[in-house]
Amino acid sequence: MATPRVLVLRAPGTNCDQETAFAFEQAGGRAEVAHVNRLLDDPQMPRDFQVLCIPGGFSFGDDVAAGKILANVIRHHLGEALAQFKAAGKLILGICNGFQVLIKSGLLLEDADLGPPATLMWNDSGKYEDRWVRLRAETQKCVFLRDIDRLELPVAHAEGKFVTRDAATLDRLQDQHQLCLRYDGNGTQSPLPYPANPNGSQADVAGVCDRTGRVFGLMPHPERHIDPTHHPQWTRRPRAESGDGLQIFRNAIAYFE
C-alpha cells in the first residue's frame, strides 16, 4: 500500500504543527501541514489523506476559550466534510489544543440533543502547567494506544481539566472504554493529587477516544517525546530506541499498512 498521508491542520496561533508533522514522518507517514483556510476553500481536501491531526498551540489566541473559535469553524463550515472523513474509517488525532477543538466541535464526543457531553476547563491550579507526567493506557480500544501500557509525556496547558456534564455521562464513557488514557501515580486516590494529575481532571482522564476508537484526543504532547533525548532524565536512563510518544504515531501509520 502507498505510504499513509497525514494532514496536520493549523490555524493562527498553532505552534506545534511542524513538530507533529515530523513525528508522523518519523513513524513512516507522509505529512502535509495545511492552514484551515485551505480547507475552507476546498472542504473535500481531506479525502486525499488517511489521518487528520489537529496539533497543539493556541489556535486563534484561545480567545473566548481554548480551541473554541477553531471548533466553531469546524462545526459550522467543515462539519460535513470531516464527518465523511470519520465515516470513511480514517483516523483523527487532537493533541492539547487539538483535543480542546475535537471536544468543542463535537468531532470526538457529541450528544445531538444537548451538545458536547464533556469539556476541558481551567486547571485547578489556576495557572498554565508545563511539566512531565506519567500516563497509563486503560484500553486497547483506541487505535493510537495499541501495545502501549505506560508512558511519560510533557503537558503544557492552562485549560486541561476534563469534566463531564454529569456523573452518568462519566460512567457511560467509562463503560464504553472511551476514557482510554489517564494520569498515573503512586497510590489509589482518584483523582490523583497535584501534580501527578496536573489539572484536576475527573477520574484522572488525560485522553479520550470516540466509540470507534479511531478518533482520539489527549492533553499531553506525544510529539515532544519521540526521541529518548527529549526526556529530561535521558542521561540517567538506559538508552531506548525511541521516545515514548513515537508509538502513538506509529500506531496511526500501522493502522493502514
Per-residue pLDDT of 197-254, as tens digits, reads 999 999 999 999 999 999 999 999 999 999 999 999 999 999 899 999 999 999 999 9
Task: Tell me the per-residue pLDDT of 24-45, one tens digit each, with 9 for 90 and over.
Answer: 999 999 999 999 999 999 999 9
Cβ atoms within 10 Å, residue 193: 10
Give the span between the Cα atoms of 94 and 71, in whole angstroms. 12
Q: For residues 180 and 204, what is the distance between their CA atoms, to the nearest angstrom?
A: 11
- pLDDT for 190 equals 76
CATH architecture of 5-254: 3-Layer(aba) Sandwich (3.40)
Nearest to 207 by CA among 124, 98, 112: 98
Q: Is 138 a catalytic residue?
A: no
How many CB atoms within 10 Å of residue 149?
A: 9
Sorting pLDDT into bands at 50, 70 and 90, what band is 110? Answer: confident
pTM for this one? 0.96
Identified catalytic residue from 96, 142, 180, 209 = 96
User: Cα separations (Å) of 16 from 23, 89, 214, 217, 226?
Assistant: 11, 26, 22, 15, 14
- Determine the pLDDT at residue 154: 98
Instruction: Name the nearest CA neighbour of 6 among 18, 71, 14, 72.
Output: 18
User: Which listed residue (157, 221, 225, 230) is catalytic?
Assistant: 221
Whether residue 223 lies in the annotated active site: yes
- Per the listing, cell 526526556 goes with 231
Give me the residues paired with residue 225 across strands.
none
d(CA 185, CA 198): 11
Hey, is 29 helix, strand or coil? coil
Domain boundaries, the chain: 5-254
Q: How far apart are the C-alpha atoms of 104 and 107, rounded to whole Å? A: 8
Q: pLDDT tens digit string along 189-199?
A: 778 999 999 99
**Residue 205 in contact with residue 181, Cβ under 8 Å?**
yes
> Is residue 1 very low, low, confident or very high in pLDDT (cuts 50, 70, 90)?
low
Active site annotation includes 221: yes
Query: Facing residues of 133 across strands?
Result: 153
Q: What is residue 133's three-state secondary structure? A: strand
CB 182 within 8 A of CB 204: yes
What CA dihedral angle connects 158, 246, 103 and 32, to 10 degrees? Answer: 110
Residues 6+ away with beta carbon under 8 Å from 245: 23, 151, 153, 221, 222, 223, 224, 225, 226
pLDDT value for 188: 63
- Annotated catalytic residue, options 223, 225, 230, 231: 223
CA-wise closest residue to 180 among 232, 248, 124, 125: 248
